[in-house]
Chains A and B, each alone.
Chain A
């Protein structure tokens, strides 16, 4: 009996050599327990060592193997070949990002935006270590826990047409993380983040397409985070109009 095979159409882009990406077909053995990343690793190890792509943990934690699989943003370590077999599988770099080589995209824009929302705990005054940790109840944790599960895989950016059309948009993951820290009872940095979050490039660029939440492999729900940030910004704006000193003590 002949061995079962599957065809992968993989984007190739060699800077200085190709003017634009092209698809290259590879027919490889089919294993029903393989994920798309296994197939790429097989190509890299046995067929074409020049193929470039990112991966690391192989278990949906590091967020580095995000690619377009048959037009959908997916973690290739979680996309099983059996979901596509016997049809060919097309693997492309994440859309909406500049392509560096083959399946590798330039992440620097995302990294800049992530940094701009200050995704870390900000305290007005740090208490000394001797006074112990900042305590938090399960209810306080529950408010933001979902939004803390982001693995920065950028699938949400590939699913977001707004980011594709408006590259200045801060984007789903960065805004979800901003919301995560704003909602953390230990954080006092909401006002420091507001300038970026409430800008045109922040929450107000979002038109609530909602695909960011659909493709998120960790169910972070960035769309919900962004809409809740909009509500928070609006409440803050109304307070600034109605209350003395904008409602700040």
Chain B
């Protein structure tokens, strides 16, 4: 049986809208969530570029040429930094989610995160080499 106090006598605190500015960890969490906005915009730009490529080579070239403006370049740099931050936090989180056990031994988190980040780097470098060679 749970003893319940008189609700009328309680003080109910309210969480301020600026709660995420209270601690660095809350701010970094909100930043992680905010990265999704830039990644979503980048995805839309990427899909449009594919659509233009499907239209004609000239249409694609014109679209890519438009992306060379200072505003779009700045956007892509910010999107790249946010994508890296989001990816790193994602792979670090994977080590929390995955529990790899062998009998009583559990793989340490640095190993799980390191394996993910290592694999990510290998795939990224492979794509970069393919892109520059082809």
- Across the interface, name the chain B residue whose C-beta is closest to A140: B104
- Complex Cα gap A180–B34 (Å): 33
A88 located at the interface, meaning its Cβ lies under 8 Å from any Cβ of chain B in the complex: no
**What is the interface size of chain A, counting residues whose CB is below 8 A from a CB of the partner?**
38
Which residue of B is nearest A71, CB measured?
Answer: B22
**B11 near A13 (CB under 8 angstroms)?**
yes
Q: Taking the complex as formed, is B85 at the interface, i.e. its CB lies under 8 A from any CB of chain A?
A: no
Q: Give the chain B neighbours of A230 by CB distance below 8 A.
A: 97
Chain B residues with a Cβ under 8 A of chain A: 2-5, 7, 9-13, 15, 19-20, 22-23, 25-26, 29, 33, 93, 96-97, 99, 101, 103-104, 106
**Residues of chain A with a CB closer than 8 A to B29's CB:** 207, 209-210
Q: Is the CB of A15 closer than 8 A to any CB of chain B?
A: yes
* Residue A133 is within 8 A (CB to CB) of chain B in the complex: no
Closest Cβ–Cβ distance, residue B73 to chain A (whole Å): 32
Question: How many residue-residue contacts, CB under 8 A, span A and B?
Answer: 77
Contact A15 B9, beta carbon cutoff 8 Å:
yes
Q: How far is the CB of A11 from chain B (nearest CB, A)?
A: 10
Contact of B97 among A21, A142, A143, A231 (CB under 8 A): A231
Surface stretch bound by B, among A37-45, A51-59, A94-102, A187-195: A94-102
Check if B4 sits within 8 Å of A165, measured CB to CB.
no
- Interchain Cβ contacts under 8 Å between A and B, 19 examples: A15-B11, A71-B22, A95-B13, A95-B15, A96-B13, A97-B13, A106-B5, A108-B4, A112-B2, A161-B19, A208-B93, A209-B25, A209-B26, A210-B96, A213-B96, A224-B96, A224-B99, A228-B97, A230-B97
Asked if A132 CB lies within 8 Å of chain B CBs, one says: no
Q: Which residues of B contact A128 (CB under 8 A)?
A: none
User: Which residues of B have CB within 8 Å of A214?
Assistant: 25
Chain A residues lying within 8 Å of B15, measured Cβ to Cβ, are 95-96, 161, 164-165
- A244 in contact (CB, < 8 A): no
With a cutoff of 8 Å between Cβ atoms, the chain A residues found around residue B104 in the complex are 138-139, 142
CB B64 to nearest CB in A, in angstroms, measures 36
Complex contacts, A138 vs chain B, CB 8 Å: 104
| Given the contacts A207-B33, A210-B29, A211-B26, A98 and B12 also touching, CB distance less than 8 Å | yes
Contact partners of A16 in chain B: CB under 8 A: 9
Complex CA gap A230/B15 in Å reads 27
Tell me the bound Cα distance from A214 to B25 in angstroms. 10
Residue of A nearest to B25 (CB): A211
